Amino acid sequence: MDEKLFNPSLLYDLDFSTTSCTFKPTLGPKEPGEGLVMRPLERSDYAKGFLNLLSQLTKVGSVDGEQFVEQFERMKKSSNHYVVVIEDVIRSRIVASATLLVEYKFIHGAAMRGRIEDLVVSDRMRGKQLGKLLVETLLKLAVKLGCYKLSLDADDQVKSFYEKFGFRDGATLFMQLRFFD
């Protein structure tokens, strides 16, 4: 068994008897579709094309296997990164992924805030409800972990996708300062 970023039972114990959006046919973390498995990121996922998948979302740049493992270890140690992947187990390829990042706060009674990051479904696998399944899973995981709020950055093109789950425009202005691309 390869080393996992977090305990997989956190995913498989989620209650999918009710969902924020509609699934037709029904999907869940234990049954994401034929030939597919949903699980936490593993140490060896570099070899299964995890970074190639991320390059369909944004620029990944040059990251070798050693750097990947170092970053994996940092995430595991921090214990607030929940990188969820869907693997095509026939081809041994990672075909979809999304991350729940949990911030520990002093405000709101020392609560936790969740952020969805880096959602991407491989172009050949889009339209099979995998994007919805990942967001629904992270939403339920955020509730289970005790987050008081879940937020994300999205452009206008995917706004209607996130609205299916109940996400709405926030009242605050998103600002950023980029140090490099």
Ligand X SMILES: CC(C)(COP(=O)(O)OP(=O)(O)OC[C@H]1O[C@@H](n2cnc3c(N)ncnc32)[C@H](O)[C@@H]1OP(=O)(O)O)[C@@H](O)C(=O)NCCC(=O)NCCS
Binding site residues, ligand X, CB under 6 A:
57, 119-121, 126-132, 154, 157-158, 160-161
What's the closest the beta carbon of residue 101 comes to ligand X, in angstroms?
14
Reading the block at residue 4, the tokens are 């996992």
Q: Which is nearer to ligand X, 8 or 33 (CB)?
A: 33
| H or E segment to which residue 139 belongs | helix 130-145
Q: Which is nearer to ligand X, 43 or 115 (CB)?
A: 115
What's the closest the beta carbon of residue 162 comes to ligand X, in angstroms?
8
Q: Which is nearer to ligand X, 81 or 128 (CB)?
A: 128
Based on the number of CB atoms within 10 Å of its own CB, is 96 exposed (0-12), middle (13-18) or buried (19 or more)?
buried
What's the closest the beta carbon of residue 160 comes to ligand X, in angstroms?
5
CA distance 181 to 69: 22
Reading the block at residue 3, the tokens are 């080393």
Q: Which is nearer to ligand X, 48 or 132 (CB)?
A: 132
What's the closest the beta carbon of residue 161 comes to ligand X, in angstroms?
4
Q: Which is nearer to ligand X, 49 or 131 (CB)?
A: 131
Residue with the shortest CB distance to ligand X: 131
What's the closest the beta carbon of residue 23 comes to ligand X, in angstroms?
8
Q: Are 133 and 14 in contact (CB under 8 A)?
A: no
Q: Which residues pair with 7 in a beta bridge?
A: none
What's the closest the beta carbon of residue 25 comes to ligand X, in angstroms?
12
Q: Which is nearer to ligand X, 22 or 62 (CB)?
A: 22
CA distance 145 to 41: 18
Among candidate residues 157, 180, 154, 179, the one with its CA nearest the CA of residue 169: 154
How many residues does this entry show for the chain? 181
Among candidate residues 71, 104, 99, the one with its CA nearest the CA of residue 85: 99
